[in-house]
Structure formats: C-alpha cells, structure tokens
Amino acid sequence: MHRLKGATAYKLRDEFPHLKKLPSMWTRSFFCSTAGNVSSETVKRYIENQKTR
C-alpha cells in the first residue's frame, strides 16, 4: 500500500504542480472491502480492464 500511495502521489504532483504545496497526499491508513460473491477471475478481469481506461 505504501508503494501505491507513493507512486500515485508522485504522478499527481507531477501532473498538478499546485499539489506540491500539500505536506501529504494520503493518510497513513487505507480501506479494504470485499467484492461480495464474485470469483477471483472476475476481479482480475475488472482490474485488467481498468488499465485500458
């Protein structure tokens, strides 16, 4: 989670320079939830499709 937040903060600050003024982009915590009664294959397919958007 730490790497994900660091990478997204870097990209956001690169694209939106005014965000560089913020002391921190993210909190130290994160949220995780289940996908319900969905197969792992469906979740993987959903994640892969998000990369094409």
Can you give the pLDDT at residue 14? 95
Range list of H helices, the chain: 2-15, 40-50
Can you give the pLDDT at residue 35? 73
- Give average pLDDT by consecutive 10-residue segment, the chain, 53 residues: 88 94 85 82 89 72
The domain limits of the chain are 1-49
Separation CA 20–CA 50 (nearest Å): 27
Can you give the pLDDT at residue 12? 94
> Largest Cα–Cα distance of the chain, in whole Å?
42
Can you give the pLDDT at residue 53? 63
Can you give the pLDDT at residue 43? 86
Could you please state the CATH topology (level 3) that the domain comprising 1-49 is classified under: Alpha-Beta Plaits (3.30.70)
Can you give the pLDDT at residue 51? 78
**pTM greater than 0.75:** no
